Amino acid sequence: MLNIKEKKVIKILKAGGVGVLPTDTLYGLVGSANSKEAVDRIYKIKKRDKKKKLIILISAMAEIEKFDIKINKKQFEILNKIWPGKVSVIINNLAFRIPANKKLIEILKKTGPLVAPSANPEGLKPAENIKQVKGYFKDAVDFYFSGGILKSEPSTLIKIEKNGEIIILRGKIKK
């Protein structure tokens, strides 16, 4: 069940707003993946190179198809083993992740896919708490949602080829 603050966050995100949410890895600077304005604003707030793609958080594997991407049986089997979890997967040049955070999944079911790079300006250390995030972004975002102290590595980043080959780009993955 979502509380009043979470419902307010959903309303802001559905209206194209940008904010900070805890994920299952780090704090994320989030906005609707379907809003060009929100995505552009996130790049600007983070001072991130637009050539660098953003991870898209989804609530279910079927949402990948909303991006005109078809996954084959081998890719599906691999994704089914690693999600939900701390592994982001590049498929057709877009990176997706189904987080293991149940509250975040509830929010994603209401908002749809969210882009969610780490909540820090490019080149600086990811924030571990809301105070640090506010120090980075001040009033540049529409909301801050605290999840306490988050100390984690960024998600593992892999690419799954059509033939099922897994290429590890960042981090580690259990076989």
Asked whether residue 123 is domain-assigned, the answer is: yes
Number of domains making up the chain:
1
Quote the pLDDT of residue 3: 85
User: Do 86 and 156 contact (CB within 8 A), yes or no?
Assistant: yes
Residue 175: inside a domain, yes or no?
A: no
- Predicted local confidence at residue 152, as pLDDT: 80
Mean pLDDT value of segment 98-125:
95
pLDDT of the residue at 96? 97
Per-residue pLDDT at 174: 67
> What percentage of the chain reaches a pLDDT higher than 70?
99
Residue 4's pLDDT is 86
Is 72 contained in some domain? yes
Query: For the ranges 10-14, 59-63, 161-165, which has the lowest average pLDDT?
Result: 161-165
Instruction: Kindly report, residue by residue over 7-49, the tens digit of the pLDDT.
Output: 999 999 999 999 999 998 899 999 999 999 999 999 999 999 9
The mean per-residue pLDDT over the stretch 66-79 comes to: 93
* CATH number of the CATH domain containing 110: 3.90.870.10
Q: What is the pLDDT of residues 114-155, one digit of tens each?
A: 999 999 999 999 999 999 999 999 999 999 998 889 888 778
Mean pLDDT over all residues of the chain?
93
Which phi and psi angles does 21 have, rounded to 5°?
Answer: -130, 150
The whole-model pTM stands at 0.92
Stronger pLDDT, 111 or 5, i.e. the higher one: 111
Domain that holds residue 15: 4-170
Give the model's pLDDT for residue 122: 92
100 inside domain:
yes
17 belongs to a structural domain: yes
Averaged over 63-82, what is the pLDDT? 93
Provide CB contacts within 8 A for 97, sequence distance 6+. Answer: 55, 56, 57, 58, 83, 86, 87, 88, 89, 155
- The residue assigned the tokens 């660098």 is 52
Contact 58, 97 (CB under 8 A): yes
